[in-house]
Structure 1
Amino acid sequence: MELSGTILRGSEYEPIEGRIVIEDGRIEAIEEATNVPDRIVSPAFVNAHTHLGDSIAKEAGRGLSLAELVAPPDGLKHRLLREADRDEMVDGMKRSLEFALATGTVACLDFREGGVEGVSRLEEAASELPIDAYAFGRESVEAMEAGDGFGASGANDADFERERRATAAADKPFGIHAGEADPSDLDPALDLSPEFLVHVVHPEPRHLERIESDEIPIAVCPRSNLVTGVGVPPVDELARRTTVALGTDNVMLNSPSMFREMEFLAKHTSLEAPAILRMGTRNGAALLGRDDGLIEEGRPANLLVLDADTPNLAGVLDPVRAVVRRAGQGDVADVIVDGRSVEMSDW
C-alpha cells in the first residue's frame, strides 16, 4: 500500500510532500515526491483518558458540581451506570468508539467502572471495531486482572495500597486521578508511585518537583476540567516538567474528539502546534507502551488522512496547525489502522 500527500514526518511533524510505503502493517519507507494529492497525512490519535460507560448519559447533569456529577459511589454518573442494562451500555460505548474512530482515534485508555463486568462490556463494545480500547479496572483487583491495568478514582476516595501492589505484581500499569478539584490528593497519589496521573489541575510547587524528579507522565483533560468548573490544568508548566498526553474524559460531558481537545488546548495555552499534536499522538501511545504516534520508518502504520481541499481546510498554509486547530470529522478522508484503510462510510 502507498499513501501520498503532505506527510507530517517524525517527532517534530515536519511537513514534507511525499509518499509512504506500507508493508505488513508497518511503514516501510517515506519518500519525498512531487505533484502529490491535496491531503494531509498525520499520525492517528491515541486518547489517553476516557470514561466510555457514561455514553448512555450524554449532556446529563446540568448545574451539578464535579462531586455531584462523577464522585463515587453516588454521583449522577454512577447512579445512571448502575441502572443501565448491559445491552444499553455496550451499544452506547460502541457508538462512542465508532465516533472516536471516525475522528482519527485508533486507541483509548478507559477508566472502566463496573468491575469485571464493566471490563467485559467494553471488550464487547470494541470487539468488532478496528480500535484498541484499553480497560483499566477501577473497583477491584479482579477488574484489573481482567483488564489492562488499574485506574484509581483518587487517593482521597480510598486506600489503594493493596490494589497498587497487586497491579505491580501483575506487571500492569497503575494510573490515578489526582489534583482535579484541589491539591489535597496529589501527595498521597504520588506516594503510590503510579505509572501516570490524570488531570493535575491544581499542582503546588512541591508536586511539580516530585512529578519531574520521578518522571511521572500526566494525562490532561482540559475541556472536561473547564466544564466541571475546576479550572484548566497548567499544561504549559506540566509540559516543561514531564510527558503530557491528552484525553477527553467523560463522554457524558464531552465528545471523544481529539480534534476538539487539541483545538481547545491550542487556544488556552502558549504551546505550539507540534507539541500539542505530540500530546494527542505519540505521548498517549507511549503511556500505553505502544510504538505508534509518529510517522517514521518501522513504526505501525496507524495514520489519519485529511482532505486538504475541503471548504474548511482549503487555503491552509501550516498543515500542523491545521490538524491541531482547525480540522474536524468532515475533513477526514481515511483512517489507516495497521496498514489497512477503514471504510469511513461505515461510521
Structure 2
Amino acid sequence: MHVEGTVLTGRDFEPIEGRVVVDDGRIEAVERVETDSTDIVCPAFVNAHTHIGDSIAKEAGAGLSLDELVAPPDGLKHRLLRETPDEEKVAAMRRSLRFMRATGTAACIEFREGGVPGVEAFERARDGLDIEAVVLGRESRDAMDASDGFGASGARDGDFAALRRATREAGKRFGIHAGERDPDDVDAALNLDPDFLVHMVHATDAQLDRVAREETPVVVCPRSNLVTNVGVPPIAALAARTTVALGTDNVMLDSPSMFREMEFAAKLSDVSARDVLRMATVNGAAIAGLDYGVVAAGKRAKLLVLDGDSDNLAGVRDPVRAVVRRAGQADVKRVLL
C-alpha cells in the first residue's frame, strides 16, 4: 500500500511531493513522484506524558491548587480514582484512548495510578485498540513488575532509590516529575539517574546545565502547567540542552490532543515549528523506546494523513508550520497505525 501527497520526511520534516510505500507495517520507501494529492503526510504523534485514568473527572477542580488537585494521596484526583468503580474508569480511559488515536497519536507514556489493578485496568481499556502505550506503574514494586517501568510522583514524595535500582535491573523505564512547583526536587530527581524527567518548570540555570551534562531527556506539558498555575516550562532553554518531548498530562485538566499541545508550545516559546514537531513525534518515540516518529525507509509505519484541501489547511505555504500551529482533528483524513 502507499499514501501520497506532501510528505514531511526525516528528522527535519523536509516536504517533498511524493509517496510513502508501506509493506508489512514498515516504510519500504519514500519516493519523489508527481501526484495530484493535496494531502499532508507526517509521522503520527507520541504523547510522552499522560494520566489517562483521570478521564473520569474532566474539568473537575476548578480553582484548586496543584497540590489540592493531584498531590498523593489525598489530592482530588486520587480521591476520585478511589471512589470510582473500575469499569467506569476503564470505559472513561477507553474513550480518551479512542480520541487520542483519532487525533493522530500512535503511542503514549502513561503514568498509571492504582498499583497493579490500575495497570490492569489501563490494559483492559486499551484492549483491541491499535494505539500503543508504555505504561509506568506507580505506588509499588509490584506495579513496576506488572508494567513497563515506574513513574514516580516526585523526589519530595518519597525515597525512590530502590525502585530505580529495580527498574534498571529489569531493563525497564523510570520517569519522575521534577521542578513542577519549585526547583527544590530537581537535583534529588537527577541523582536517581532517571530515563527522563517531566515538567522542569522551575529548573535553575545550574540544573539545566546538569541536565545537559547528564543528557537527561525532559517531557514538557505547558498547557497543564498553565492550568495549574505553576508557570510555564523554559522550552527553548531545555531544547538547547537536551531531548525534549511533549505530553498532555492530566486528562482532568486538558484534552489529550497533541494538536493543541503543539500549537500552544509553538506560540508560547521561541522554538521553531520543526523543533515542536520533533517534540511531538521522534523525540517522544526515543524516550519511549519506539522505532518510529519519522517518515523514513525502515521505520515502522505510524503515519498521519491530513487533508491539505480542508477549509482550514487549503492555501498553506508552510506545511510544517501548518501541522504544528493550525491543524486539528477536523483535518485528519487517515491515521495509519
- Normalising by structure 1, what TM-score? 0.96
In the TM superposition, what is the alpha-carbon distance from 1:72 to its structure 2 partner?
0.3
In the TM superposition, what is the alpha-carbon distance from 1:148 to its structure 2 partner?
0.5
Q: Deviations over 1:149-190 (max 9, x none)?
A: 100000001011111111111110110000001001001101
Distance 1:123 1:107 in 2: 13
Secondary structure of the residue aligned to 2:185 is helix
Gaps of 5+ in 1: 338-347
Match of 1:18 in 2: 18
Matched, 1:157 2:157: yes
Distance 1:168 1:240 in 2: 28
Distance 1:135 1:34 in 2: 42
Distance 2:230 2:222 in 1: 10
In the TM superposition, what is the alpha-carbon distance from 1:218 to its structure 2 partner?
0.3
Distance 2:163 2:21 in 1: 44
Match of 2:51 in 1: 51
* Number of residue pairs matched by the alignment: 337
Match of 1:119 in 2: 119
- Report if the CA contact (8 A) 2:41-2:305 is conserved: yes
Alignment of 1:69-218 (within 5 A): 69-218=69-218
Match of 1:341 in 2: none
- Report if the CA contact (8 A) 1:265-1:276 is conserved: yes
In the TM superposition, what is the alpha-carbon distance from 1:193 to its structure 2 partner?
0.6
Gaps of 5+ in 2: none
Distance 2:303 2:143 in 1: 31
- Report if the CA contact (8 A) 1:3-1:19 is conserved: yes
In the TM superposition, what is the alpha-carbon distance from 1:58 to its structure 2 partner?
0.1
Match of 1:314 in 2: 314
Match of 1:220 in 2: 220
Match of 1:231 in 2: 231
Distance 1:29 1:133 in 2: 26
Q: Deviations over 1:3-36 (max 9, x none)?
A: 1000000110000000111111111111111133
Secondary structure of the residue aligned to 1:267 is helix
Match of 2:264 in 1: 264
Match of 1:254 in 2: 254
Match of 2:286 in 1: 286
- Report if the CA contact (8 A) 1:6-1:36 is conserved: no
Secondary structure of the residue aligned to 2:22 is strand
- Report if the CA contact (8 A) 1:123-1:133 is conserved: no
Q: Deviations over 1:267-300 (max 9, x none)?
A: 0111111110000000000001111000000001
> RMSD value over aligned CA atoms?
0.6
Distance 2:105 2:165 in 1: 32
Give the counterpart letter for 2:17 in structure 1.
E
Give the counterpart letter for 2:97 in structure 1.
L
In the TM superposition, what is the alpha-carbon distance from 1:96 to its structure 2 partner?
0.2
Distance 1:292 1:264 in 2: 24
Q: Deviations over 1:130-149 (max 9, x none)?
A: 10122101101110110001
Secondary structure of the residue aligned to 1:324 is helix
Secondary structure of the residue aligned to 1:312 is coil
Secondary structure of the residue aligned to 1:109 is strand
- Report if the CA contact (8 A) 2:176-2:197 is conserved: yes
- Report if the CA contact (8 A) 2:54-2:250 is conserved: yes
Q: Deviations over 1:42-99 (max 9, x none)?
A: 0000000000001000000011000000000000000000001110000000000000
